[in-house]
Structure 1
Amino acid sequence: MRKLMLAIFMLLMFTTAISYAAVPHLINYQGKVTDKGGNPLNGSYDITFRIYDAESAGNLLWEETQTGVVVDKGLFGILLGSVTALDIPFDKPYFLEIKVGTEVMSPRQRITSAGYAIRAEVAESVSGFDPGMVGTKIVDETGIGDGKVPVYRTSSGKLNYEILKVVDKGDYPFIFDDAVKTTAINNTSWAKCREMQVYYDGIVRFKFDGSVVGLSVSFKLYKNGVSIGTLRTTTLKNNNYATWSEDISVSSGDLIQVYATHNGSYMGTQANTRNFRACWNLGGGKIN
């Protein structure tokens, strides 16, 4: 009578990974077959492999028979899944049963972590993920420099590599864009200088500054295109900026804007904003 000596190795067969390459559903299996006296066998044998969800009894989940398996000095090696596809999810304990010829070996052997690496394929097809959501410049060859972070922009639906900064100020961290924005005010209406979308519910403190090319300008915060802030006026110019802060109740998705208008003669007047910052309590939230 033959018996199967458990000298078993279970390895997931890896190939060079390319974006969205299929995970090979094959497990490399090696075993040793001896006769009753412990002498290694030689020849060709039909070997059946079965996977159950229990160490004994249980439900048969998968089965394949590999015919003419070559055994040399008692050793053989096969790929589980090469005859019948391994279509089980590997999300709970499984046990392998082996039959050589007509003899079923016991006990069943628990499948170890290598088989469960097949589960990693789920990570390649996460629900709702689209490779097109990632912008072309999240990290370049020099890496992420000081003040540069990826930001999701709702307007484009992409993650973009943008110049933002995070500065700790006590209990309120700031995130802001420090590029100067200029708005010409050659009319009698309020003009939008800056805009950011918030993804936070609660009180957010907004800080902004301004200067003028011309006589004087006024600034005010808007929410979703509606004036809500206090009127701020400055005559500062030539890289001199007035700075203001204001606490505003917001809901996730709100657009907060900085608007400006002229005071007096408006022809040729420009309003400059250098920093538009949002700060919130460390309890949570993110600013886009």
Structure 2
Amino acid sequence: MAMVFVILAGAMAQAQEASVPPLVNYQGMLTDADGKPLTGTKKIEFNLYDAATGGTKFWGPQIFSSVPLVNGMFNVILGEKDEEKRLITDAFESSGRYLGIKVNDGDELFPRQQILSTPYAIRAEKAGKILQVVHNQTNEFKTSDQAIPWDDTIPQQTEGVEVLTVAITPGDSSNLLLVEAAVHATEDNNTANRLMLALFENSESDAIATAVGDTNVVRDSLQTIPFKHIMTAGTTSEITFKLRAGLEAGIININGGYLGRKLGGTLYSTLTVTEIAK
């Protein structure tokens, strides 16, 4: 008995509410070599590849041991996971996916069926979701006379004083990392010095992002410098972000004034990294 073709009518199994389930509704038709629709039940196996022939298998197998056929037509729901516990959402991180089908442990049917746009909404549903948040804060009072130059050079990891660090291990190199900080600081001088923040990644010498506070600062005039930076993770290895602060000249005071800590230790500088699905 030959299975000569399958008609693809696959679509997302979408609900009306906002959340899209990670499932694909697949309808097909099986006939014999003479084109007559098959009946009864069949064992059907599904796999997803990146090519019409050969290629790499990204998902599967998912095996349905007893699929009923009505005038050759059948319907199955693919997902959420295959036999190896891999999510079907992960198979649609890139375009160009082809569905391979086997019936009753036979050879794969030819040709494979190309998956078009609809199931990619599965992956799109994940986009923008917050995957993890790593936070650190400190109320430690510290001072430093290590300047961060106000010129056209990139701040170095030897300049300023380290305020906070946060380590995060991204789940996917294509995800976004949102780095947010707020640092409370004053200066010892009565001169208008710029107060600057610089963000560093691991042991890299050059800062990857900076922020500048008010220049009209006088002694003990506290300012809170907000900081925000977004970037592609670029790796699944641990990243340590280091936040440093400094004046262009003079002594900087973190979480206090020139006479010491303020507000009884309730003044916290913060550093937060959020991983967002791309």
TM-score, scaled relative to structure 1 = 0.42
Q: Which structure's relative contact order is higher, taking Cα pairs within 8 Å and 6+ residues apart?
A: 2
The structure with the largest alpha-carbon Rg is 1
Question: Which one has a larger percent strand, Structure 1 or Structure 2?
Answer: 1
